[in-house]
Structure 1
Amino acid sequence: MPKIEIYTQPGCPYCIRAVALLEKKKVPFTEINAPHGTQERMDSRERSGGKTTVPQIFVDGKGIGGCDDLFALERGGKLDALLQAA
């Protein structure tokens, strides 16, 4: 199983959707609370190459983007293979 990390912010509808999809897939992941102005948010921005929005999702340290990117992988039939790789 790959290591999955998702940076989120409380109340963010995109974060909620992304977390719900990962839960539906029944894969273990680490949710990192990253509200504006926190060190976690700065870490997310640095790791993602400057992206300032949440969620930011990483699989084995590689950024795959945010909620829209996650759902695009799902629609394209590529998410399951990515989440099972390793």
Structure 2
Amino acid sequence: MDDNDTGRDKMPRVVMYVSGFCPYCTMAEKLLRARGVEEIEKIRVDLQPEQRAEMMQRSGRRTVPQIYIGQTHVGGYDDLSILDRQGELASLLAD
């Protein structure tokens, strides 16, 4: 790896369904950023009802955040936090 290679190309895409005022969404974003995630695609379900319907269909859940790392549905903030404590979040982000 050369000095200009940040490894960003290797990190999977992170998508998070969120709403405008959502403390769990904020905590999830802070945790992901603390683990090196620089880009998070945020989909505002409070502004786009069709996106809420898509989120519910994809995840089977109604609450935000709903987090996807690559093709893996992580779940919400509590699920993300558990993965982090168990050391599994780092491996998901490394895929």
Same fold flag (TM > 0.5): yes
Give the number of equivalent residue pairs: 84
Q: Which has the larger radius of gyration?
A: 2
* Deviation beyond 6 Å, 4+ runs, structure 1: none
Q: Given the alignment of the two structures, is residue 39 of structure 1 paired with residue 75 of structure 2, yes or no?
A: no
Instruction: Choose between structure 1 and 2 for higher RCO, CA contacts under 8 A separated by at least 6 residues.
Output: 1
- RMSD across aligned C-alpha pairs, in angstroms? 1.5
Range with bigger deviation, 38-47 or 65-74: 38-47
Gaps of 5+ in 2: 1-10
| 1:61 Cα offset (Å) | 2.4
83, 90, 94: which one aligns with 1:73: 83
Q: What's the counterpart of residue 61 of structure 1?
A: 71
Deviation at 1:62, TM superposition (A): 2.3
Mind listing any 5+ residue stretches in structure 1 that lack a counterpart? none
Alpha-carbon deviation of 1:59?
Answer: 1.4
Sequence identity percentage:
38
TM-score, with structure 2 as normaliser: 0.81
Normalising by structure 1, report the TM-score.
0.88
- Per the alignment, residue 6 of structure 2 pairs with none
Structure 1 CA distance for aligned equivalents of residues 93 and 42 of structure 2: 15
Distance in 2 between residues matched to 1:6 and 1:37, nearest whole Å? 14
